[in-house]
Amino acid sequence: SSLSAGTGGLVLYDLTSSAPHNKEFSPHCVKTLMDLKLLDVGYDRQRLTFTQVRTDLAKRVGDNAATVPTLELSDGTHLQDSWLIANWLANHHPKGNALFPFPSSRPFAASLNAWGRSNFAAQLRSLTRPPIHDSLTGESKIYFEQVKVGKQKLEKMRAMTQAERDQQIQNCIVALEPIQDALAAVRESHNASAGSLSTVPLWLEGDQEPTHADFCVYGWYVHSRSTGPTITREIWHALPLVSQWVNALNAWAGNEITKDF
């Protein structure tokens, strides 16, 4: 079965804007990129447009509803959905435990994963969709406008006033309070244990390395980057610990990943 395959010979199918660009903006693909980096797993990275996902990848996976990220194992089976991929890596890679190091890491990461999708994204959406639409061409652009978002909704987003846009930015900052408070609690724990770690922890679970919990949130930071540097700064650098965390994760991810944001 696919679950007995190793982590050698992997292919990661990832989303990008229209060729020849290499823009990374999928919140979910970023989670998998970061998981693979944490575990230092090698893979062949295939960048696909929306159109290529719906044609080439759908054909390869044998599912018209194929999505990215898709991880192709060496035996030809496919894993879809960043959460399922993280669980597979956790269960099958020798160091997989690093993704979910503690007994409640899975529910913590799952709650952040759903927070991104159901709470934060609801506030962010109207700011990211117009610029993502701008970055696409051809069939991908038509699909994004007509199927994924809807022509009328996209036009409404484009027609927002500056005041409405500012309100959405404020809503995004409020929606980030769970992340700010989690990072503050990590520092409280660190201070209570009086320096059992040599340095103040930077990551959401307070460990020496980031974990899947961090990546579930970071995916939405990367997605936000499609709004450009000004709005990204307004949202992600308003709360001091979130700002520090973003900077630390950008450094951890390294230029090989961040050059595409």
Nearest distance, CB of residue 104 and its own copies, angstroms: 4
**Is residue 77 involved in binding its own copies (CB under 8 A)?**
no
In whole angstroms, give the CA distance from residue 59 to residue 53. Answer: 9
Q: Which stretch binds its own copies (CB under 8 A): 3-11, 41-49, 64-72, 199-207?
A: 199-207
Work out which of 175, 231, 242, 246 binds its own copies, going by CB under 8 A: 175
The SS3 of residue 151 is helix
Beta bridge pairs of residue 223: none
Residue placing its CB nearer to its own copies in the complex, 51 or 87: 87
Helix segments in the chain, DSSP class H:
27-38, 50-52, 58-61, 82-92, 105-115, 121-134, 138-143, 151-158, 162-175, 177-192, 212-224, 229-236, 240-253, 255-258
In whole angstroms, give the CA distance from residue 107 to residue 80. Answer: 20
Work out which of 179, 202, 249, 253 binds its own copies, going by CB under 8 A: 179
**Is residue 107 involved in binding its own copies (CB under 8 A)?**
yes
**Is residue 229 involved in binding its own copies (CB under 8 A)?**
no
**Is residue 136 involved in binding its own copies (CB under 8 A)?**
no
Nearest distance, CB of residue 3 and its own copies, angstroms: 11
The SS3 of residue 149 is helix
The SS3 of residue 218 is helix
Work out which of 2, 76, 102, 134 binds its own copies, going by CB under 8 A: 102
Residue placing its CB nearer to its own copies in the complex, 2 or 189: 189
The rounded Cα 31 to chain-centroid distance in angstroms is 4
At residue 50, what is the residue type? F
**Is residue 169 involved in binding its own copies (CB under 8 A)?**
no
Q: Which of residues 9-68 bind its own copies (CB under 8 A)?
A: none
**Is residue 243 involved in binding its own copies (CB under 8 A)?**
no
Place of tokens 């927070």: 115
**Is residue 219 involved in binding its own copies (CB under 8 A)?**
no
CB 245 within 8 A of CB 202: yes
Work out which of 15, 57, 157, 186 binds its own copies, going by CB under 8 A: 186
- What's the token pair of residue 43? 């893979």
CB 122 within 8 A of CB 36: no
The CA-to-CA distance between both ends of the chain, in Å, stands at 36
Nearest distance, CB of residue 202 and its own copies, angstroms: 12
Q: Which stretch binds its own copies (CB under 8 A): 8-16, 71-79, 115-123, 136-144?
A: 115-123
**Is residue 97 involved in binding its own copies (CB under 8 A)?**
no
**Is residue 240 involved in binding its own copies (CB under 8 A)?**
no
- What's the token pair of residue 91? 């269960």
The contact set with its own copies (CB under 8 A) reads 87, 91, 100-115, 117-119, 122, 174-175, 177-186, 188-189, 192, 204-207, 213
